[in-house]
A and B are shown apart, each in its own frame.
Chain A
Amino acid sequence: MDNDFAKPLPRPTPTSQPFWDGLAANKIMIQHCLDCATWVFYPRSRCSSCLSDNLEWREVTGDAVLYTFTLTRQPTAPHFADEVPQKLAVVELAEGVRMTSTLVNIDEADVRVGIKLKPVFAKRDGVTLLLFEPI
Chain B
Amino acid sequence: MGLRGDAAVVGFAEYKHERKYSGPRKFTIEQWADLAQMALADAGLEASDINGIVCSDIRESGMFMPATIAEYLGQPVNFAERVDLGGANAVGMIWRAAAAIELGVCDVVVCALPARPIPSNPQPQPVNPMRYFGASSMNWGSPQAEFEVPYGNLAQNCGYAMIAQRYAADYGYDAAAMAKLVVDQRRSAALNPNAAFYGQPIEIEDVLGSKLIADPLRMLEIVMPVAGGGAVVVASREIAAKCSRRPVFVTGFGEHLTIKTPTYAEDACFTPVGPASQQAFEMAGVTPGNVDAAQIYDCYTITVLLTLEDAGFCDKGEGMQFITEHDLTFSGDFPMNTHGGQLGMGQAGAAGGMTQTIEAVRQIMGRAAERQLGTCDTVYISGTGGVMSEQSALLLQGG
In the complex with contacts A72-B214, A73-B214, A90-B162, A9-B150 CB distance below 8 A: yes
Q: Does B264 contact A (CB under 8 A)?
A: yes
Q: A72-B213, A76-B152 given; name 20 further pairs at CB < 8 Å.
A: A7-B150, A8-B149, A9-B150, A13-B146, A42-B147, A67-B268, A68-B163, A68-B268, A70-B215, A73-B213, A76-B153, A76-B154, A77-B132, A77-B133, A77-B155, A88-B162, A90-B263, A100-B147, A102-B151, A102-B152
Q: Is the pair B147, A13 in contact by a Cβ cutoff of 8 Å?
A: no
Using C-beta atoms within 8 Å of the partner chain, give the interface range for chain B: 35 or more
State A75–B213 Cα separation when bound (angstroms): 9
Q: Does A99 contact B (CB under 8 A)?
A: yes
State A73–B210 Cα separation when bound (angstroms): 12
Chain B residues near A70 (CB-CB < 8 A): 158, 161-162, 165, 214-215, 217
Q: Is the pair A5, B129 in contact by a Cβ cutoff of 8 Å?
A: yes
Identity of the chain B residue whose Cβ is nearest the Cβ of A77 in the assembled complex: B132
State A79–B132 Cα separation when bound (angstroms): 9
State A11–B151 Cα separation when bound (angstroms): 13
Q: Is the pair A76, B163 in contact by a Cβ cutoff of 8 Å?
A: no
Q: Is the pair A71, B214 in contact by a Cβ cutoff of 8 Å?
A: yes
Within 8 A of A (CB), among B208-225: 211-215, 217
Identity of the chain A residue whose Cβ is nearest the Cβ of B164 in the assembled complex: A70
Within 8 A of B (CB), among A16-57: 16, 42
The main secondary structure of chain B at its interface with chain A is helix
Q: Is the pair A73, B212 in contact by a Cβ cutoff of 8 Å?
A: yes
Looking at the assembled complex, report how far the CB atom of A86 sits from the nearest CB atom of chain B, in whole angstroms: 5
Identity of the chain B residue whose Cβ is nearest the Cβ of A129 in the assembled complex: B150
Name B169's contact: one of A8, A74, A113 (CB within 8 Å). Answer: A113
Chain A residues near B132 (CB-CB < 8 A): 77-79
Tally of A-B Cβ pairs under 8 angstroms? 110
Q: Does A83 contact B (CB under 8 A)?
A: yes
Looking at the assembled complex, report how far the CB atom of A3 sits from the nearest CB atom of chain B, in whole angstroms: 9
Q: Does A110 contact B (CB under 8 A)?
A: no
Q: Is the pair B153, A69 in contact by a Cβ cutoff of 8 Å?
A: no
Name A100's contact: one of B166, B217, B263 (CB within 8 Å). Answer: B263
Q: Which of B135-143, B230-238, B365-373 contacts A (4 or more CB under 8 A)?
A: B135-143
Identity of the chain A residue whose Cβ is nearest the Cβ of B165 in the assembled complex: A68
State A113–B169 Cα separation when bound (angstroms): 6
Q: Does B318 contact A (CB under 8 A)?
A: no
In the complex with contacts A76-B155, A79-B132, A11-B145 CB distance below 8 A: yes
Q: Is the pair A68, B162 in contact by a Cβ cutoff of 8 Å?
A: yes
Q: Is the pair A42, B143 in contact by a Cβ cutoff of 8 Å?
A: yes
Q: Is the pair A11, B140 in contact by a Cβ cutoff of 8 Å?
A: yes
Q: Does B75 contact A (CB under 8 A)?
A: no
Within 8 A of A (CB), among B111-153: 127, 129, 132-133, 138, 140-141, 143, 145-153
Name A83's contact: one of B138, B149, B152, B166 (CB within 8 Å). Answer: B152
Q: Is the pair A77, B214 in contact by a Cβ cutoff of 8 Å?
A: no
Q: Could you tell me which B residues sit within 8 Å of A by CB distance? A: 127, 129, 132-133, 138, 140-141, 143, 145-155, 157-158, 161-163, 165-166, 168-169, 211-215, 217, 261-264, 268
Q: Does A121 contact B (CB under 8 A)?
A: no
Q: Does A98 contact B (CB under 8 A)?
A: yes
Within 8 A of B (CB), among A94-120: 98-102, 112-114
Name B152's contact: one of A10, A11, A88 (CB within 8 Å). Answer: A88
Identity of the chain B residue whose Cβ is nearest the Cβ of A70 in the assembled complex: B161
Q: Is the pair B169, A88 in contact by a Cβ cutoff of 8 Å?
A: no
Name B148's contact: one of A5, A80, A100 (CB within 8 Å). Answer: A100
Q: Is the pair A77, B150 in contact by a Cβ cutoff of 8 Å?
A: no
State A72–B165 Cα separation when bound (angstroms): 12
State A106–B157 Cα separation when bound (angstroms): 22
In the complex with contacts A8-B133, A88-B162, A101-B151, A71-B146 CB distance below 8 A: no
What are the nearest 8 A-B pairs in CB distance? A113-B169, A70-B161, A68-B166, A77-B132, A80-B152, A4-B129, A10-B146, A70-B214
Chain A residues near B211 (CB-CB < 8 A): 73
Looking at the assembled complex, report how far the CB atom of A6 sits from the nearest CB atom of chain B, in whole angstroms: 9
Identity of the chain A residue whose Cβ is nearest the Cβ of B266 in the assembled complex: A98
Identity of the chain A residue whose Cβ is nearest the Cβ of B133 in the assembled complex: A77
Could you show 25 A-B contacts with beta carbons less than 8 Å apart?
A9-B150, A11-B140, A11-B145, A42-B146, A42-B147, A70-B161, A71-B214, A72-B213, A72-B214, A73-B212, A76-B154, A76-B158, A77-B132, A77-B133, A77-B155, A80-B152, A86-B152, A88-B151, A88-B162, A90-B162, A98-B263, A100-B148, A100-B153, A101-B151, A113-B169
